[in-house]
Amino acid sequence: MTRPLLLALAGTRPEVIKLAPLILALQGLEGFRVALGVTGQHQGLLAQALSDCGLEAEFDLAVMEPNQALGPLLGKILSGLEEPLRTLAPAAVIVQGDTTSALAGALAAFYQGIPVAHVEAGLRSGNLAVPFPEEANRRQIASVARWHFAPSPDAAEALVREGVPRERIEVTGNTVIDACLAQAADAQIPPSLALPPGRLVLVTLHRREITQAPDVLAGVLGAIASLARNHPELAFALPAHPSVAAAAERALGELANVRLLPPQPYPVFLALLREACLAISDSGGVQEEGPALGTPVAVIRAETERPEAIEAGGVVLTGLDPTAIEAVAERLLREPARTPSFPYGRGGASAKIAATLARAILADA
């Protein structure tokens, strides 16, 4: 008898990073085959993350095109998955988070009657339009998923409020903590980057709400520039997402204590985050990794679907107003160094998810 296949799907860097420890945990189980399919939603960053995590994709839909609208992207992934899902006939499809790839993967599996496991289920900002389109994506994934792996008790309660039966929800913590703890311990800042640990501020920006609103982007970059001018004793490192690289070069390129870098390999990024005295970021993952590494994070967003990080302390929402961004950053820079905190679990999420999936699939086989 052929062993049942568990097929994980990913389209972007964070999905690969967060699925990698789960794939590793599933590979350790007897009686299953595990494969990863990728959509290529963010081709360059995806390829780097696959290599950072030592993963190879079974298939790649290579859907990326410049400035692709969401509708055609969703359509392309949905139809692209039709054939691989039929041929591979997985016992379950695993999607992570809230991207268009995750939504298309969940729908494509659902249409073929394949049960869907949703990793990082139940995150809610409460505002359907923010973050866009991720909040809507994750709600729709929840409506078709069979297993909902929630990173926190609050995320589980959000699902219960939306009518998901409790027995389909498991609070596991976030698999990113597995990835982060496994990779951060030995990670070092390469000497070639010449960035000073302890006097480092790490900046990342990539969300549509900022990068596709020129006035907002100019304001945010202006706040970073002003902070850099007021703190010549600090080095600001900005591994620039492709969507922000050109604007960052224009706004910050002349400043001696700002280093614009290409996207960094995951272990290097973790080393930078661990050694930074502050992160300024609109990233979801950085709100999870920052607390685990004891690094405060000024979150450049109006709302967050990760309130647990804020309650744990050290993660502070700034909104999008430049004055407020500067004020929060200044306050966090004055605070004493933090010890790590774990609003998304202390690791072990991947092992829990793998065990639940294995039990359920063997029971069905």
Provide the annotated active-site residues.
98, 120, 134, 206, 208, 241
Q: What's the token pair of residue 92?
A: 């379950």
Tell me the closest approach of the beta carbon of residue 95 to ligand UDP, in angstroms: 14
Long-range residue pairs from 110-115, CB within 8 A, at least 24 positions apart, any chain:
110/144, 112/82, 112/85, 112/86, 114/85, 114/89, 114/90, 115/91, 115/146, 115/147
Residues 225-244 contacting ligand UDP, CB under 6 A? 239
* Cβ atoms < 10 Å from Cβ of 68: 13
Q: Which is nearer to ligand UDP, 53 or 109 (CB)?
A: 53
| x/- track of binding to ligand UDP for residues 283-312 (CB under 6 A) | xxxx--x-----------------------
Residue 269, C-beta contacts closer than 8 angstroms, at least 6 positions apart: 239
Tell me, by CB under 6 A, how many residues bind ligand UDP. 16
Residues 80-109 contacting ligand UDP, CB under 6 A? none
Residue whose entry in the numeric block shows the structure tokens 């004891």: 294
Binding of ligand UDP by 350 (CB under 6 A):
no
Q: Which listed residue (4, 7, 13, 158) binds ligand UDP by CB under 6 A?
A: 13
Cα 239 from Cα 219, distance rounded (Å): 19
Tell me the closest approach of the beta carbon of residue 52 to ligand UDP, in angstroms: 7
Stretch that binds ligand UDP, among 73-81, 247-255, 264-272, 352-360 (CB under 6 A): 264-272
Tell me the closest approach of the beta carbon of residue 269 to ligand UDP, in angstroms: 4
Compute CA distances 177 → 50, 163, 326, 340, whole Å: 18, 28, 28, 12
Binding of ligand UDP by 32 (CB under 6 A):
no
Q: Which is nearer to ligand UDP, 13 or 352 (CB)?
A: 13
Long-range residue pairs from 212-221, CB within 8 A, at least 24 positions apart, any chain:
212/243, 216/320, 217/244, 217/247, 218/247, 218/251, 219/320, 219/321, 219/322, 220/300, 220/320, 220/322, 220/325, 221/247, 221/248, 221/251, 221/252
Stretch that binds ligand UDP, among 191-199, 261-269, 326-334, 355-363 (CB under 6 A): 261-269
Q: Which is nearer to ligand UDP, 32 or 269 (CB)?
A: 269
Binding of ligand UDP by 263 (CB under 6 A):
yes
Stretch that binds ligand UDP, among 77-85, 112-120, 121-129, 260-268 (CB under 6 A): 260-268
Sheet of strand 5-10: strand arrangement: 59-60, 33-38, 5-10, 92-96, 116-119, 147-150, 169-171
Is residue 130 within 8 Å of residue 303, measured between CB atoms?
yes
Binding of ligand UDP by 14 (CB under 6 A):
yes
Q: What's the token pair of residue 294?
A: 């004891």
| x/- track of binding to ligand UDP for residues 168-207 (CB under 6 A) | --------x---------------------------x-x-
Q: Which residues bind ligand UDP (CB under 6 A)?
A: 13-14, 17, 176, 204, 206, 239, 263-264, 266, 269, 283-286, 289
